[in-house]
A and B are shown apart, each in its own frame.
Chain A
């Protein structure tokens, strides 16, 4: 039956993702923003690989493995924070949560407390301004996909015109002009 055949084809595509119905990170936005700078420097490698995969393949189905690694790294990151520096981190993100736009400049005191706690317990340094937006080179074992847009083969270019070309009779014939 034709529709069963198509369905089984699609299940191959989708069954990969069923393995990855992992626990999502159930935290709110101010928690994420509070930890963002340290997260960017700690979980840098899987993040960059995932973004490279996503941007090259232009297909989320092909990048589920890297996405799983991103999720794992994030979970480990938050587990480490919870295990070691929970109180200062809680104070920091509650302070951020208090303001409307979660501006980082209102919470410098708690940020210093959290940074020093993380530095002495886990050895993480907060990246300097501009470090996270630097362009990096990522090395992966995944080959570069050719034709990620699945374009059809390009048509032949126009052949060279042989023979003598003569100017048009009656001029250019562009709307009203005849020269």
Chain B
């Protein structure tokens, strides 16, 4: 009796491990799809960021024209390396809906 029970359990474990290995292979395949697509997405994201920064700069020139002593596009940091802009900074002059889409648009959870 015990033999039958233990036999069934061992068989169940073996099936479980096999399926887990298969799931791992499937997960690797899906992650590889993501790896393959990353350069494309990164390049487009970079272009979009730079474009939005450029538009913000042009708006800033227009808006702060009459303020004395204002350096357009001056960095708020003391360094001159690339600082990744915050979404709030990028979407500053756009409707708030776009910022909310950027921040909360893609969620795995609810």
Contact = CB atoms under 8 A, between A and B. Distances in A.
Contacts of A159: none
Given A103-B30, A132-B32, A21 B47 contact: yes
Contacts of B72: 3, 6-7, 10
B80 A150 contact: yes
A51 B57 contact: no
Contact of A40 (B32, B50, B74, B82): B32
Contacts, number: 119
Interface string B20-32: 0000011011111
Interface in A101-132: 103-105, 127, 129-132
Contacts of A37: 29, 32-33, 36
A60 B71 contact: no
A50 B29 CA distance: 23
B46 A104 contact: no
A24 interface: yes
A39 B36 contact: yes
Contacts of A54: 42, 46
A74 B72 CA distance: 37
Nearest to B46: A60
Given A132-B36, A149-B81, A10 B28 contact: no
Contacts of B44: 24-25, 71
A70 interface: yes
Interface string A48-72: 1011001000111101101100110
Q: Is the interface of B mostly helix, strand, loop or mixed?
A: helix
Interface residues of B, number: 36
A95 to B, nearest CB: 15
Most buried by A among B39, B46, B54: B39
B49 A60 contact: yes
Contact of A67 (B47, B51, B80): B47
Interface in B1-47: 25-26, 28-40, 42-44, 46-47
Interface in A127-142: 127, 129-133
Interface of B: 25-26, 28-40, 42-44, 46-47, 49-51, 53-54, 57, 61, 70-74, 79-82
Interface of A: 2-3, 6-7, 10, 14, 17-18, 20-21, 24-25, 32-33, 36-37, 39-40, 46-48, 50-51, 54, 58-61, 63-64, 66-67, 70-71, 74, 103-105, 127, 129-133, 148-150
